[in-house]
Amino acid sequence: MFQPSPWRADFPAIAALQRQHQTYLDNAATTQKPQAVLDALSHYYGHGAANVHRAQHLPGALATQAFEDTRNKVAAWLNADPQQIIFTHGATSALNLLAYGLEQDFQAGDEIAVSALEHHANLLPWQQLARRRNARLVILPLDAHGRIDLEQALQLIGPRTRLLAVSQLSNVLGTWQPLPSLLAHARAQGALTVVDGAQGVVHGRHDLQQLECDFYVFSSHKLYGPDGVGVLYGRDRALQRLRHWQFGGEMVQIADYQASSFRPAPLGFEAGTPPIAGVIGLGATLEYLAKLDANAVAAHEASLHGYLLRGLSDREGIRVLGTPDTALASFVIEGVHNADIAHMLTEQGIAVRAGHHCAMPLLKRLDLDGAIRVSLALYNDSDDLQRFFDALDQGLELLR
């Protein structure tokens, strides 16, 4: 039965893509934007751009106010304090900020625990930090479903663990990770905890007072907002441990030729001109999302996800990786290379992702050189998935 999306018409790009005969199912990579975001960007640029936190003139004051309004909205979205919200250029830049800003805390022999399913953005900065400080990267193994194996993880996270960095929701396997137990255990061992919320933030509201991590990062562009903007949330005592990393602009308190002092968070970690329009656009996204019925969105996504998983399991020779909980499914097809499947889906206007999904070590661990990933957003409907399955069936007939 046809399942429409009540929010589809809010996203003008979906109709535009359809006119180009494109069905967009690569939402874990980036999402389309609601009209409200296009309007906010157009309003900012159309009514007078200005730099923030530095000009006394009216356009500067208005830009600063809109920019800081978004900080308040992000804080409200995550149940945090605005002073705990640092704007970055994306989840990757937030994680790099952490890996440099916390570097002084690490000594030879210290351990950093990450899981086997991390996106490169939550692996490479820690790997490089470990190399700089002679620390050791400990890899937490997964269970058969594609979740961090709690029993083993609790054994591997011990008194030498200085930091635990894990994804909330896997961008390859679509599995929620067992964060409450993991974070509580790491905290009890005295470790700092970092949660990569790049995928998790898109599906459901997450209360950071309940999640109790020290740091949480996400990118605006996956949450229906503009690209070039990320968020780094930090608990107060964790932010106090963060050293300033990038220098210049309004992050300075007093500058002199030989020495300078710097502002605390958040402005002290926002060196240079921030992505002003993008931040304002993120504010519009959150305003848009806050008006939606969260239960209806969750039910819609769950229903489409069920349709996707059933369609995949109904077809012979398809193996879904792990046991996806939500939002996406990655799969391989017996006897057919993922690049060939991707090629034939592309030919038929189906936009899905193929390859290693920026998680090369995970794919290697699964003994694969790639997989196809279909990922959903709130504007997708069951026809999008039907077009995908029709294209898949047609293509497989030719390839097999």
Q: Candidates 89-97, 184-192, 321-329, 384-392 — which segment interacts with ligand PMP by CB under 6 A?
A: 89-97
Helix (H, G, I), strand (E, B) or coil at 106: coil
Considering only 358, 362, 371, 376, the residue that binds ligand PMP (CB under 6 A) is 358
What is the nearest approach in angstroms of ligand PMP to the Cβ of residue 171?
Answer: 3
| Nearer to ligand PMP (CB atom), residue 90 or residue 146 | 90
- Tokens 């022999």 locate to 109
Helix boundaries (H) for 148-212: 150-156, 179-188, 208-211
356 binds ligand PMP (CB under 6 A): no
Question: Measured between alpha carbons, how far is 98 from 244 in angstroms, rounded to an integer?
Answer: 10
Structure tokens at 337: 């290379």
Q: Computed from CA positions of residues 118, 135, 268, 72, in that sequence, does the dihedral angle turn out positive or negative? A: positive
Structure tokens at 205: 């509201």
| Nearer to ligand PMP (CB atom), residue 225 or residue 395 | 225
Q: Peptide bond preceding 266: is omega within 30 degrees of 0, i.e. cis?
A: yes
Q: 201-240 mask for ligand PMP (x: CB under 6 A)? A: ------------------x---------------------
Pairing state between β 350-351 and 328-333: unpaired
Structure tokens at 309: 């998983």
198 binds ligand PMP (CB under 6 A): yes
Considering only 71, 119, 185, 305, the residue that binds ligand PMP (CB under 6 A) is 119
Residues 158-177 close enough to bind ligand PMP by CB under 6 A = 167, 171
Q: Candidates 67-75, 195-203, 313-321, 367-375 — which segment interacts with ligand PMP by CB under 6 A?
A: 195-203
Question: Measured between alpha carbons, how far is 355 from 124 in angstroms, rounded to an integer?
Answer: 18
375 binds ligand PMP (CB under 6 A): no
| Nearer to ligand PMP (CB atom), residue 29 or residue 336 | 29
What is the nearest approach in angstroms of ligand PMP to the Cβ of residue 157?
Answer: 20
Catalytic center residues: 358
Q: Candidates 45-53, 108-116, 192-200, 295-303 — which segment interacts with ligand PMP by CB under 6 A?
A: 192-200
Helix (H, G, I), strand (E, B) or coil at 368: coil
Other C-beta atoms closer than 10 Å to the C-beta of 291 total 8
Structure tokens at 195: 């949660």
Residue 371 · residue 357 · CB < 8 Å: yes
What is the nearest approach in angstroms of ligand PMP to the Cβ of residue 60?
Answer: 28
Which residues does 148 contact at the CB level (< 8 Å), separation at least 6?
115, 116, 117, 140, 141, 142, 166, 177, 178, 182
| Nearer to ligand PMP (CB atom), residue 175 or residue 333 | 175
Question: Measured between alpha carbons, how far is 307 from 313 in angstroms, rounded to an integer?
Answer: 10
Q: How many residues bind ligand PMP (CB under 6 A)?
A: 13
What is the nearest approach in angstroms of ligand PMP to the Cβ of residue 188?
Answer: 26
90 binds ligand PMP (CB under 6 A): yes
How far lies 125's CA from each of 15, 101, 129, 130, 194, in Å? 38, 11, 6, 9, 12
88 binds ligand PMP (CB under 6 A): no
Considering only 27, 32, 92, 161, the residue that binds ligand PMP (CB under 6 A) is 92
| Nearer to ligand PMP (CB atom), residue 161 or residue 219 | 219
84 binds ligand PMP (CB under 6 A): no
324 binds ligand PMP (CB under 6 A): no
Question: Measured between alpha carbons, how far is 98 from 235 in angstroms, rounded to an integer?
Answer: 13
Considering only 26, 149, 196, 214, the residue that binds ligand PMP (CB under 6 A) is 196
Q: Where do contacts with ligand PMP occur on this chain (CB under 6 A)?
A: 90-92, 119, 121-122, 167, 171, 196, 198-199, 219, 358
